[in-house]
Homo-oligomer: A and B are copies of this chain.
Amino acid sequence: MASAGLGKIEVIPLSGVPEVREGEDLGKILLASVKQHGIRLVDRDIFVVKQKVVSKAEGQLVRLGAVHPGSKAKALAKSEGKDPRLVELILREATRIVRTGHGVIITETRHGFVCANSGVDQSNVGKGLVALLPLDPDRSAKKLRRELERGSGKRLAVVISDTFGRPWRVGQTDVAIGCSGILPLLPYAGKKDRFGYELRVTEPSVADEVAGAAELATGKLTGIPAAIVRGAEYVRGDKGVRSVIMPPERDLFR
């Protein structure tokens, strides 16, 4: 792994995928798009699938009009200038509030992700609806990987991506919130550089870099729900993104 001779990487957007509804077979839909584009899959292709389409297939949409905000949500909505019903959902999806201010609510989700609004999002879902994150994105990734592998006969990987902000820099990048068939990190610890210096803590988060690379090819306004990343070095495995959540006792930014 990660030895010399890395080659070219390609990121191939899957455009023209029809709107996905609850209960539909996402694997079948994506493979139909692959076929339609004349793409020949190869072993180790990584399907990067946006969280939004996974949430839709899993029925993780909520009608905002049906949400009754509690007093805590109302107070926070007022101080941050948000819709109280949206804040109610953000609080329900959160295990703790990490920071609030400047119209931003940063929480830790049930999955252990620290992100804005518990990942609750109103874009690309339709009027009056909001999308919640999948209940278990690693499990969603595993299910999808198996469907894709069964349908294609290839050994594949799946990364489910979402758009997260980050401290200290304006803007967002797409990161992995679930994965299967790919270990999120490439372990370099103990390897030596070409001068003989031993790397100790280097573990590139290939799952996050793959998610970001896919975002370059899909954008936010195109309705493109997925891309295939081909040629990236990674270790096959099934630990999931949950394995890279920083343990609280090592977390310097709690």
Contacts and interface: CB of A to CB of B under 8 A. Distances in A.
Contacts of A220: 2, 188, 191, 193, 199, 202, 204
Interface string A113-140: 1100000001111110000000000000
Nearest to A217: B9
A24 to B, nearest CB: 18
A170 interface: yes
Interface stretch (A69-77, A144-152, A246-254): A246-254
A221 B206 CA distance: 15
Q: How many copies does the complex hold?
A: 2
Contact of A245 (B6, B8, B168, B232): B168
Given A167-B114, A246-B168, A251-B168, A191 B221 contact: yes
Contacts of A196: 127
Contacts of A60: none
A180 interface: no
A171 B244 contact: yes
B7 A123 contact: no
Contacts of A245: 168-170
A193 to B, nearest CB: 5
Given A9-B213, A102-B250, A199-B220, A204 B167 contact: no
B216 A232 contact: yes
A2 B219 contact: yes
- Residue with the highest number of chain B CB atoms closer than 10 Å, among A99, A193, A213, A224: A213
Interface in A185-220: 185-186, 188, 191-197, 199, 202-206, 208-210, 212-213, 215-220
A45 interface: no
Contact of A217 (B6, B114, B170, B184): B6
Contacts of A23: none
A221 B193 contact: yes
A9 B6 contact: no
A174 interface: yes
Contacts of A11: 8-11, 213, 231
A115 to B, nearest CB: 9
Given A127-B195, A221-B193, A244-B171, A209 B202 contact: no
Given A168-B246, A209-B216, 9 more contacts: A2-B220, A2-B222, A6-B13, A6-B217, A9-B213, A169-B175, A169-B244, A171-B184, A209-B213
